[in-house]
Structure 1
Amino acid sequence: MHADFEWDLPETYNLAESAHKTGEARNLTALVHRDDHGRAHRFTYAELDDAASALGAQLREAGLEPGDRIALCFPQSPELLVAHLATYRIGCLAVPLSVLLGQESLAHSLEHSNASALLADATVYDQIEEPVAAADLPTELVVDLEAEAYDGPNRHLGAFAHRVSSDRSSEIVATKPDEPAIIVYTSGTSGTPKGVVQRHQYLIGTLPGYQCWFHCFGDEHRERVWTPAEWAWAGSLFDAVFPTLACGGTVVSSVRRSGFDPADALALLERFDVSRSFMPSTAMWQIREETEPSAGDLDALEVVMCGGEKLPEPVKEWAERELAIVVNEAYGQTEANAMIGDCQVLYESKPDSMGRIYPGHECAILDEDLEPVEPGSVGQIALERSDPVLFAGYLGDKEATEECYDGGWYLTGDLARLDEDGYVTFAGRADNLIISSGYRVSPTAVEAALCRAPTVANAAVGGVSDEERGQRIVAYVLLETDVETPAEANEETTLEDDLRQHVRDRLGPHKTPHEIEVLEDPPRTRTGKLDRATLFPS
């Protein structure tokens, strides 16, 4: 499977080509969307491509040029997909922003990316207006999901339907595969969110993994694919959305204004005959715990790919038994996606394993001398540096980029074991990064946020094993002296509630501690620092 594989990258390639079809393929259904009111909307590849062409023309008229960065802040929606395609189409870089981002994280992403413009859904604009104003963007474009209800001061593009019928058009810029296309922000080990710059060829490099984990080999596989993950992350966009378009399938999307709802997810899977789904492991766990589905409820669903963290074996066994589906697990990073995973149509899965190395990727488990480890020994997952799935670098941080490489290898920072049959088993992080519900959370970032609270003198944050989330975020805090706590002031909220809200406002809900414990006599190292080894024993 690996021996005969060679990458054949074209001279030019643009991510917008994933939705640009010719002939009869233009009439295939590219997107099915469920709006806030439960109504279904269908869009062909021709409609999606024409809408992106029209929006691209409007963006050019607004003064945007190839190489400019365009920030995008929407829930799952046709508008967001069209905004992505239009951005790539005119040679600009997309900067996707989660609607769940805290004010500080959002402000950092806007400022650090040097975004020239923001496209945002009118329904989320109020919550992002302050950091947007602080960023002083040259262009702000606000888009309504349904009606022209926006009455704010910024330029208004109107409803999606108006762009579909527009007589404007723009050509797809002939970018090279290795030119930058998207900047995805994620937390690094230093605690400061890094801008991961990925190239147009990132999609090409991901396709072998996509075909393996979804069992999509050949032109006859035009699958309906849905993920509950926000379209602000590399996983959702490049494990589900863009590969599905590239393969001529149908993307299913749904506006979600709150947390994951297992019952609603099942209803959506059934209603829209979803055949493939990228499901964060936490979501699959919640479906098992909070619903009672059966195979008859999901006749169309055949394969689910789980990622983000290891899916507990009992959950995987339950899903395959009760839902009569195949569950494949896969491993990748924003910096280097779709390297390792299951493909049960080609080889059996092994309990607790992440699968095998996917075709096209020269991946190895290396020791500190960059030599392959013996079978069963722990080493670091590494990827050969010419791989098309590898990132171009961290935006504005050459030093951090160079630290990821040693010789001809990109070092992931993840530890694993490789057995004699070629199966890879995750063994932890080379650093102390927390992986909770699929999100990579820097303890340093959470500690820094907690220490900015007036009541906190010091904090230690770590990950504790959790069946549902993989890890839960736990914080120990040392309080300032002579500071009145909410309980002492007879207030309704607790100190822990206030501190959680403090972190949530700054970093977002996915980085908020699940538990906070106040330390009166904390363990310390010889140098007086909080003893994290005692607080978080391995």
Structure 2
Amino acid sequence: MLARVARYEEAVAGFRWRVPQRYNIGVDVCDRHDPSALALIHENEDGSIRRYSFGEISRLSNRLANLLLAQGLTPGDRVGILLPQRPEAAIAHVACYKAGLIAVPLFTLFGPEALEYRLGNAGCRALMTDAERLPVIEEIRPALPDLSVVLAADAARDSDFFLSLETALTKASDNLIPIDSVADDPALIIYTSGTTGQPKGALHAHRTLLGHLPGVEFPQEFFPQPGDLFWTPADWAWIGGLIDVLLPSWHHGVPVLSHRMRKFDPEHAFHLIAKHGVRNAFLPPTALKMMRQVEKPKTRWDYAMRSIGSGGETLGAELLDWGREVFGLTVNEFYGQTECNLVVGNCASILPVRPGAMGRAIPGHDVQIVDADGNILPVGSVGTVGIRKGDPVMFLEYWKNPEATAAKFAGDFLLTGDQARQDEEGYFWFVGRDDDVITSAGYRIGPAEIEDCLLKHPAVAMAAVIGVPDPLRTEAVKAFLVPKPGILPDAQLVSDIQDFVKTRLAAHEYPRHVAFVDSLPMTATGKIMRRELRALETERQENR
């Protein structure tokens, strides 16, 4: 949607949204392209490579859509996608959109409790997964009455519990008439962490992909350009991997590199970029910090990046300078959240990058600093980042949560919950959060889900979780625990509690730091005062 121009003001003045009344993500990202054109390069964990054309993606997604419909699913039904970064995950998304189903991406490192809640809350009727994750699904399936179909990749044969995806696809037709969806029809639910209660499902319409396009094109230096090839280590279960990279690339007919890293390896990242000729990347700040530790990458690998975007945490001057030295370009930061993504960012070729600033409003988005009632504040004031209603990238609602949906808006604006200020030249500067969400290694982590899990441990009476400064991850999870009577805390108990959370939720959510206390600061109504814990932690750090 963005035309290459010489000045930021020209990009804003010349921008116009082009969102048709009828629009389907699945049709858009593969059916309208040259069937022989390269769509996906997948490198398996053993190093073998498989290439897919847009024609293959189209046919395979048609087969899968027909298979799901043959299992009794109807438009509007939810389909969980519990797969790592692999072709079947991308094909599952395209199939759901074409069939009018609602995709629910799920992170493969989620434990049973996290999966049970999300699958149950969304009321998923079908689940796409692989053989590796079948044991945990079998464990929680009795608690999921809506789940009637499980399709498993890499499964040799069917069972009473699941169908082999590969076997079932061979029996399905690749002829499909995709649903004629309206741009505002629901397409996917992405769960986002909050500070109170369980995670909330952000329901997005098909139009959200079109709403994301300027936010991808701007920090990726007027993406696409001839020869572009996009990669990110971010899992496609998160909005950063799915709609910041995979789907926008396919909208533009640009190939994507996929590869599952069970654990991010910075040297392997350089290797992949050089081996496949990656030109564009979304690299979270933690990934960049880890890659910075690699010695002499320019002499060890032959690479030629054109653009790198990064978001989730502010990059400092040193990391920006390292990016220029190692990649010969300026890493462009961007900002957004699951409910309304990629609304602020940088584009170094037309907008001077200021270390510490998130950037300026991306063309097409009206971003302001507002108060709690949605009133625009004067320049320089600290307030909440707000995005004006009616933005195509904005979510429809929180799934089955009208109260939370209503609370997300004030006046004419969606309230992000992030505090910032805007300077006289329009740059946004992040100040902090008015909620308790923890940002760790690019993940937004809500304390409520972790606290709920901690309270299930037999040694824990009360629990509170905050984020504490971490040089690599920006923040790390710290748990303050009141032990049950008779429990004597020791190092073994700390390790046991950490493993308890890690295996039930996710590896990035477990408390890396644990402190046992006699009591927790509480309000008169019994709410944990996390700000008091943060203040105590800050004081402790200063007195070290």
Q: Name the TM tier (shorter chain).
A: over 0.9
Paired residue for 1:468, among 462, 468, 472? Answer: 472
Paired residue for 1:392, among 396, 401, 406? Answer: 396
Q: Does 1:226 align with 2:231?
A: yes
Structure 2 CA distance for aligned equivalents of residues 527 and 166 of structure 1: 57
Give, as a single letter, the amino acid of the residue that structure 2 aligns with 1:10: P
Question: Is the Cα contact below 8 Å between 1:381 and 1:412 reproduced in 2?
Answer: yes
Structure 1 CA distance for aligned equivalents of residues 515 and 178 of structure 2: 54
Give, as a single letter, the amino acid of the residue that structure 1 aligns with 2:484: E
Q: How many Å apart are 1:502 and its aligned residue?
A: 1.7
Structure-to-structure mapping, 1:1-16, within 5 angstroms:
1-16=11-26
Aligned residue in 1 for 2:541: none
Structure 2 CA distance for aligned equivalents of residues 232 and 249 of structure 1: 20
Aligned residue in 2 for 1:266: 270
Deviates more, 1:337-346 or 1:6-15: 6-15
- Cα-to-partner distance string for 1:280-324 (whole Å, 9 max, x where unaligned): 111111111255422772523221111122223312211221232
Q: Does 1:254 align with 2:259?
A: yes
Paired residue for 1:27, among 32, 36, 50? Answer: 36
Give, as a single letter, the amino acid of the residue that structure 2 aligns with 1:11: Q
Quickly say closer, same or farther: Cα 1:389–1:331, change in 2 above 3 A.
same
Q: How many Å apart are 1:325 and its aligned residue?
A: 2.9
Structure-to-structure mapping, 1:257-336, within 5 angstroms:
258-294=262-298, 297-336=301-340
Give, as a single letter, the amino acid of the residue that structure 2 aligns with 1:373: L
Question: Is the Cα contact below 8 Å between 1:18 and 1:242 reproduced in 2?
Answer: no
Give me the TM-score of the superposition, normalised by structure 1.
Answer: 0.92
Aligned residue in 2 for 1:241: 246
Structure-to-structure mapping, 1:360-379, within 5 angstroms:
360-379=364-383
Aligned residue in 2 for 1:78: 87
Deviates more, 1:196-205 or 1:452-461: 452-461
Aligned residue in 2 for 1:345: 349
Deviates more, 1:336-345 or 1:370-379: 370-379
Paired residue for 2:415, among 398, 407, 411? Answer: 411
Aligned residue in 1 for 2:207: 201
Give, as a single letter, the amino acid of the residue that structure 2 aligns with 1:17: V
Secondary structure of 1:67's aligned partner:
coil
- Cα-to-partner distance string for 1:487-531 (whole Å, 9 max, x where unaligned): 5xxxxx711111111222332112111100122577777899876
Aligned residue in 1 for 2:160: 153
- Cα-to-partner distance string for 1:111-170 (whole Å, 9 max, x where unaligned): 11011111111222223321234213443233324xx5256433424439x848964321
Q: How many Å apart are 1:255 and its aligned residue?
A: 2.4
Q: Does 1:383 align with 2:390?
A: no
Secondary structure of 2:477's aligned partner:
strand
Q: Does 1:213 align with 2:219?
A: yes
Question: Is the Cα contact below 8 Å between 1:221 and 1:249 reproduced in 2?
Answer: no
Aligned residue in 2 for 1:428: 432
Task: List gaps (5 residues or longer) in structure 2.
Answer: 1-10, 539-544
Aligned positions, number: 526
Q: Does 1:178 align with 2:187?
A: no
Quickly say closer, same or farther: Cα 1:298–1:210, change in 2 above 3 A.
farther
Q: How many Å apart are 1:415 and its aligned residue?
A: 0.9
Deviates more, 1:276-285 or 1:522-531: 522-531
Structure-to-structure mapping, 1:47-66, within 5 angstroms:
47-66=56-75
Structure 2 CA distance for aligned equivalents of residues 368 and 143 of structure 1: 46
Give, as a single letter, the amino acid of the residue that structure 2 aligns with 1:467: P
Quickly say closer, same or farther: Cα 1:221–1:383, change in 2 above 3 A.
farther
Structure 1 CA distance for aligned equivalents of residues 273 and 170 of structure 2: 27
Give, as a single letter, the amino acid of the residue that structure 1 aligns with 2:239: A
Deviates more, 1:397-406 or 1:168-177: 168-177
Quickly say closer, same or farther: Cα 1:323–1:222, change in 2 above 3 A.
closer
Q: Does 1:94 align with 2:103?
A: yes
Aligned residue in 1 for 2:463: 459
Structure 2 CA distance for aligned equivalents of residues 198 and 249 of structure 1: 23
Question: Is the Cα contact below 8 Å between 2:67 and 2:172 reproduced in 1?
Answer: no
Structure 1 CA distance for aligned equivalents of residues 183 and 227 of structure 2: 25
Structure 2 CA distance for aligned equivalents of residues 120 and 137 of structure 1: 16
Quickly say closer, same or farther: Cα 1:348–1:282, change in 2 above 3 A.
same
Aligned residue in 2 for 1:68: 77
Aligned residue in 1 for 2:193: 187
Deviates more, 1:290-299 or 1:389-398: 290-299
Question: Is the Cα contact below 8 Å between 2:341 and 2:393 reproduced in 1?
Answer: yes
Give, as a single letter, the amino acid of the residue that structure 1 aligns with 2:533: L
Quickly say closer, same or farther: Cα 1:170–1:535, change in 2 above 3 A.
same
Quickly say closer, same or farther: Cα 1:217–1:184, change in 2 above 3 A.
closer
Structure 1 CA distance for aligned equivalents of residues 365 and 530 of structure 2: 37
Aligned residue in 1 for 2:443: 439
Structure 2 CA distance for aligned equivalents of residues 525 and 289 of structure 1: 44
Quickly say closer, same or farther: Cα 1:498–1:216, change in 2 above 3 A.
same
Quickly say closer, same or farther: Cα 1:164–1:530, change in 2 above 3 A.
closer
Structure 2 CA distance for aligned equivalents of residues 103 and 444 of structure 1: 17
- Cα-to-partner distance string for 1:207-245 (whole Å, 9 max, x where unaligned): 011111111356x44521111111101111010000000
Give me the TM-score of the superposition, normalised by structure 2.
Answer: 0.91
Aligned alpha-carbon RMSD (Å):
2.3
Question: Is the Cα contact below 8 Å between 2:436 and 2:530 reproduced in 1?
Answer: no
Question: Is the Cα contact below 8 Å between 1:5 and 1:360 reproduced in 2?
Answer: yes
Q: Does 1:505 align with 2:495?
A: no
Secondary structure of 2:314's aligned partner:
coil
Give, as a single letter, the amino acid of the residue that structure 1 aligns with 2:238: W
Give, as a single letter, the amino acid of the residue that structure 2 aligns with 1:475: A
Quickly say closer, same or farther: Cα 1:39–1:373, change in 2 above 3 A.
same
Secondary structure of 1:159's aligned partner:
helix
Paired residue for 1:125, among 118, 134, 142? Answer: 134
Deviates more, 1:472-481 or 1:131-140: 131-140
Structure 1 CA distance for aligned equivalents of residues 453 and 233 of structure 2: 28
Structure 2 CA distance for aligned equivalents of residues 290 and 496 of structure 1: 32
Quickly say closer, same or farther: Cα 1:204–1:522, change in 2 above 3 A.
closer
Aligned residue in 2 for 1:490: none
Q: Does 1:536 align with 2:534?
A: yes
Secondary structure of 1:26's aligned partner:
coil
Task: List gaps (5 residues or longer) in structure 1.
Answer: 488-492
Structure 2 CA distance for aligned equivalents of residues 10 and 532 of structure 1: 45
Question: Is the Cα contact below 8 Å between 1:295 and 1:323 reproduced in 2?
Answer: no
Q: Percent identity?
A: 34
Deviates more, 1:296-305 or 1:269-278: 296-305
- Cα-to-partner distance string for 1:350-377 (whole Å, 9 max, x where unaligned): 1100111001111111134533323322
Aligned residue in 1 for 2:7: none
Structure 1 CA distance for aligned equivalents of residues 488 and 100 of structure 2: 54
Q: How many Å apart are 1:80 and its aligned residue?
A: 0.7
Structure 2 CA distance for aligned equivalents of residues 89 and 461 of structure 1: 41
Give, as a single letter, the amino acid of the residue that structure 2 aligns with 1:156: L
Secondary structure of 1:338's aligned partner:
strand
Quickly say closer, same or farther: Cα 1:12–1:533, change in 2 above 3 A.
closer
Give, as a single letter, the amino acid of the residue that structure 2 aligns with 1:149: A
Give, as a single letter, the amino acid of the residue that structure 1 aligns with 2:211: G
Quickly say closer, same or farther: Cα 1:386–1:262, change in 2 above 3 A.
same
Structure 2 CA distance for aligned equivalents of residues 74 and 291 of structure 1: 33
Question: Is the Cα contact below 8 Å between 1:365 and 1:416 reproduced in 2?
Answer: yes
